[in-house]
Structure 1
Amino acid sequence: MAGKMLILCLILQYVWSSLGDLQCQERFVHYGHHLGTKSAYRFPLQPPKITEPGLCRDDVALKTWRPRLKETDEKKLSAIGEDEMIQLAQNYRYYFPDLFPGNYSAASYLFRYTATQRTSASARAFAVGLFGRGTSHHVRYPPAVKKDAVLRFYKLCKRWRKQIHDNPDAVEERRKFEAGSEMLYTLTTISKRLNLNFTLSLEDVKLMYVTCAFETALYPREKSPWCAAFSEENLRVMEFAEDLEYYWIDGYGHNITYEQACPAIRDMALRIIPSLIQPGTPPTTVYFTHSGALLKMLSRLGLYKDRGGLTHDRYHSLHSRLWKVSNIDIFGSNLAFVLSRCFDGYYVLTLHQEKIVRLPGCDQDEDLCPLNLFLKLMWDIVSGCNFEKLCSLRDV
């Protein structure tokens, strides 16, 4: 490989740089997303009165548990999130050492993030991973745009926001599942495990689940006492309910949700396809955005699509489903496209979470997709894309 590389990171990162003595020319696109605190700090429950027989000795910490997060921490990059972004940058530099020169140059790199603290901090942490703390202070960042047409296209899609995002009926499948026997059994068994003389509400258990997840992420060397309240089956039930909501709000549930991702797909194509690259485009462009953009892009590309879709009555038949947010939308998620010029032509390699994935429409037995086929797939997505018409309320 010899030549250049493009990377996008969804926090959304584009990067490409000069290659050394590799066998193919590459351009790499990588997406990654932030670690925020969301609603964990709002945990309203008083520690329940529990007795020794219901839980292991180590889990009596529930009696003295107190929230450690502050309201001011909400939607900010955490210390563990910063370390994760540094490590992610170092990983990609390790995978492609000749693609990430250690010396920063504004002519070679462009970093871009959204108008949020967490993406700004993620970009700076990623730069530390690439260049070291000293050099990273010299990285230039363009002013962030609050409603970025590429990084946060869904913020500009009025129809999606009205019909899906702000519409309670859009998550009807989750509500139906939460009213079913699997969730009722979950609430009952968790309450019994905590030795309570009443059944916890769904909202209480949701907050316990969120707190378990975020404390596990934020304090990886510690065991969150709230996790002890859940059996593996309980966690699977809670996860399915969450997956249902993401599926119907950010995934395949409604056509407009993923169809609106075409501006991000178009932007990627303009930066990775040789014949479309504009003169003067920096060799390395790095974007940082949010999971809402990443999930819609994954869906627009046809990845992680379960036959028959996700509905409230498919819990038992979808234990091995593809659409599992705990796998496809983890903290520090990243999606990458690598363009390689080999002896017989151009090929595109796609990676998600630093692992190779094969795009629907490409040969499912080959890791590399011929550029002409990849171009056709992308053209099918962007050629009929009229974002303004798709997202306009006038055409409803």
Structure 2
Amino acid sequence: MGLYDLCRYSWNGIADKQCPWCAFFTSEDLKILEYITDQFHYYRNGYGNKYSKLLGEIILADLFQRFEAAKDGKGKKIIVYFSHATAMDMMFVALDLFKDERPPTGAYRDPNRKWKTAKISTFGANLLAVLNRCKGTDDVQDYHVAFYLNEEPLLELCSQGVCSWQEFEDKFKPFTNTTLDFCEQ
């Protein structure tokens, strides 16, 4: 797996051009290794781990609270988080993104699965949320939040990857009730 990690960490993702570390593997090897990695991440920090959703919600609650403060003129206009792919996976679970009908198993490798860590949470993955202040009707300020995953609009959250403030609030405000009470047991 060490050579495969070098391969997937240095893959540039542009025009499907492989890095030199991937030359060790056939196309079929890469498909199998990708699936093994997807299974590992699914059960460690994805839908297969009961704590992933809670831990992802904590990050999303913080995002909501910071954007709400910025909207009210009390917060910063730019918020940046740096994290490992593990936290990205947990946020996806909290947002109910990339969820397949059937969990991955060793019995069947679904080539059309949504949970593909090589696409959604690579070593250099990023999730960008942008709070936009817009001029609404009658010159009243309106706000929208645009989401990008790896510089591409995240279409699964809202239309064209852009949520109205109301859509954003409906999706993210419930995360503010998340607690870590399960840690005390």
Structure-2-length-normalised TM-score: 0.80
Aligned to 2:99: 305
Q: Could you list the runs of 5+ residues in structure 2 that have no partner in the other structure? A: none
- Higher-RCO chain (CA-CA 8 Å, sequence separation at least 6): 1
Letter in 2 for 1:358: L
Aligned to 2:119: 327
The 1:256–1:239 alpha-carbon spacing in structure 2 relative to 1, beyond 3 Å, is same
Q: Could you list the runs of 5+ residues in structure 1 that have no partner in the other structure? A: 1-205
Matches within 5 A, 1:157-176: none
Choose which of 350, 363, 371 in structure 1 pairs with 2:165: 371
What is the deviation of 1:235?
0.9
What is the deviation of 1:324?
0.8
Pair 1:386-2:179 in alignment: yes
Q: Deviations over 1:98-150 (max 9, x none)?
A: xxxxxxxxxxxxxxxxxxxxxxxxxxxxxxxxxxxxxxxxxxxxxxxxxxxxx
Aligned residues: 176
What is the deviation of 1:216?
5.8
**Cα distance between partner residues in 1 of 2:152 and 2:11:** 24
Q: Deviations over 1:364-385 (max 9, x none)?
A: x5432221121011122332x1
Q: Is the 8 A contact 1:356 1:367 kept in 2?
A: yes
What is the deviation of 1:214?
5.1
Aligned to 2:154: 357
Q: Is the 8 A contact 1:260 1:391 kept in 2?
A: no
The secondary structure found in structure 1 opposite 2:129 is strand
Larger radius of gyration: 1
Choose which of 139, 143, 162 in structure 2 pairs with 1:346: 143
Q: Is the 8 A contact 1:258 1:299 kept in 2?
A: yes
**Cα distance between partner residues in 1 of 2:161 and 2:18:** 36
Q: Deviations over 1:144-177 (max 9, x none)?
A: xxxxxxxxxxxxxxxxxxxxxxxxxxxxxxxxxx
Letter in 2 for 1:351: Y
Aligned to 1:40: none
The secondary structure found in structure 1 opposite 2:112 is coil
Q: Is the 8 A contact 1:251 1:296 kept in 2?
A: yes
